Amino acid sequence: MSRIQIEGLTRRFADVTAVDGVSLDVADGEFLVLLGPSGCGKSTLLRMVAGLTPPTGGRILLDDRDITAVAPRERDLAMVFQSYALYPHLTVARNIGFPLRARRRRDVDARVAEVASVLGLRELLGRRPRELSGGQRQRVALGRALVRDPGAFLLDEPLSNLDATLRTATRAELTGLHRRLGSTFLYVTHDQVEAMTMATRIAVLAEGRLEQVGTPQEVYDAPASTFVAGFIGSPAIGLLPARLHSVGGGLRAVGDGVDVPLGAGEESGGREVLVGVRPEHLRIAPDGAGSGAQWRGTVRLVENLGGEEVAHLDVGAGRIALRGPRPVGLDVGDHVTLTCDPGRVHLFSAAGGRRLVRTPDPDHAAMASV
């Protein structure tokens, strides 16, 4: 196991900054996922850690040793690529054992047999890559990394070439493998489901910058920005514009079709905010009225997902979704009031998109950015 420390890492390509001052501390044995959309810099960041792309600035430490300028083969890191990168003319056994033979190790056969047993590849050792399924090829690529017994594994979207069913199965295999090995995994993906189900922590990137780092529960339940809130969750969180008002000693967020009580507090100037609510936290208000937060809108679409339904509503100039067990009891064209526990409501600054939280002083309660 190894600890990876990334300090102010930056990479520029001409006038484009792909990675902008990212700092991360990946603990021994952690499964940290770099999550973000295409072009956010996550693969570039991983390649810099691997030594395949030199950084423009910052440094990388492996177990407190500066490896920023160290050659890739000397970093004690193993990388698994999206494309598998297997040698087509070699058998599974020789593909797995290739790194050891390159280092003239004498225990190649024993290590290959050990790794093949861990990955369920013992019956496939004599086959060539063209005779394997996508999932089996991915396990061979993992075996080639695992056979070296590296300090950490770097995985660049290793499941993106698999179909949905195989991706789910391989995801479970990877999670179990990490649990058995206790090794450090740094994993790149654009798939929020992979991140939420596999990671011990998630680092969300946008436009080369780090938006938030936290456990899957933290980034879902307390997103630090509208970007994180919108990127994680399906259907996406509903974000609607509103203004903060002080009403009768209480603070409310009020907009077109939106009225959310926020408890005791004061706010001057009617600050513009974005009110967010996740689809699973909404419910239909009894008799069209709710005592908590309220959204009033018109149903534009109802999707049948088998055991669940998702109703999409127009609320003012924006849209939100409600998700619940089928049937949710709504039809296209219905005018409806939805409600939710105010504690489930997320507030963000309309100007910068950062999460707003209550200040700790109860006598002067207001909203502040995280």
Q: Are 209 and 106 contained in the same domain?
A: yes
Residue 171 forms part of a structural domain: yes
Domain housing 286: 238-369
Please check whether residues 74 and 213 belong to one and the same domain. yes
Out of 119-123, 263-267, 294-298, which region has the weakest mean confidence (pLDDT)?
A: 263-267
Tell whether 233 is covered by a domain: no
Find the DSSP H helices in the chain: 42-50, 92-102, 108-119, 134-146, 164-181, 192-198, 216-221, 226-231
Q: Do 102 and 13 fall within a single domain?
A: yes
81 pLDDT higher than 50: yes
Q: pLDDT tens digit string along 300-353? A: 999 999 999 999 999 998 999 999 999 999 999 999 999 998 889 999 999 999
Determine contact, residues 255/316, Cβ cutoff 8 Å: yes
Dist. CA 38–CA 226, nearest whole Å: 18
Are 209 and 279 contained in the same domain?
Answer: no
Q: What is the pLDDT of residues 29-69, one digit of tens each?
A: 999 999 999 999 999 999 999 999 999 999 999 999 999 99
pLDDT at 69: 94
Is 339 found in the same domain as 217? no
Lowest mean pLDDT among 127-141, 203-217, 257-271, 290-304: 257-271
Cα 315 to Cα 154: distance, rounded to the nearest angstrom: 44
pLDDT the model gives residue 269? 63
For residue 360, pLDDT over 60 is answered with no
The pLDDT value recorded for residue 32 is: 97
Give the pLDDT of residue 104: 84
Does residue 297 sit within a domain? yes
Same domain for 287 and 168: no
Residue 168 lies in a domain: yes
Q: Same structural domain for residues 63 and 122?
A: yes
204 pLDDT above the threshold of 80: yes
pLDDT of residue 363: 47
* 189 and 275, same domain (yes or no): no
Q: What total of structural domains would you count in the chain?
A: 2
Q: Are residues 274 and 212 in the same domain?
A: no
Residue 178 has pLDDT above 80, yes or no: yes
DSSP class of 353: -
Share of the chain above pLDDT 70, in %: 94
The CATH number of the domain holding residue 71 is 3.40.50.300
Give the span between the Cα atoms of 202 and 217, in whole angstroms. 10
Domain finish residue from 207, 227, 247:
227
> Rounded distance, CA 109 to CA 123, Å?
15
- What is the reported pLDDT for 247? 75
Q: Domain check: are 275 and 178 in the same one?
A: no
CA dist 210 and 190 (Å) reads 14
The CATH number of residue 297's host domain is: 2.40.50.140
Contact between 320 and 297 under an 8 Å Cβ cutoff? The reply is yes
Per-residue pLDDT, averaged over 190-199, amounts to 94
Higher per-residue confidence, 54 vs 82:
54
> Mean pLDDT in the chain?
89
Are both 247 and 360 inside the same structural domain? yes
Does residue 201 register a pLDDT over 50? Answer: yes
Q: Could you tell me if residue 196 is inside a domain?
A: yes
- Indicate if 251 and 184 belong to the same structural domain: no
CA atoms of 268 and 57, how far apart (whole Å): 43
Is 9 a member of any domain?
yes
Q: Distance between CA 9 and CA 108 in Å, rounded?
A: 36
Strand partners, 294: 259, 339
Last residue of a domain, one of 180, 200, 227: 227
**Domain annotation covers residue 232:** no
pLDDT at 359 > cutoff 60: no
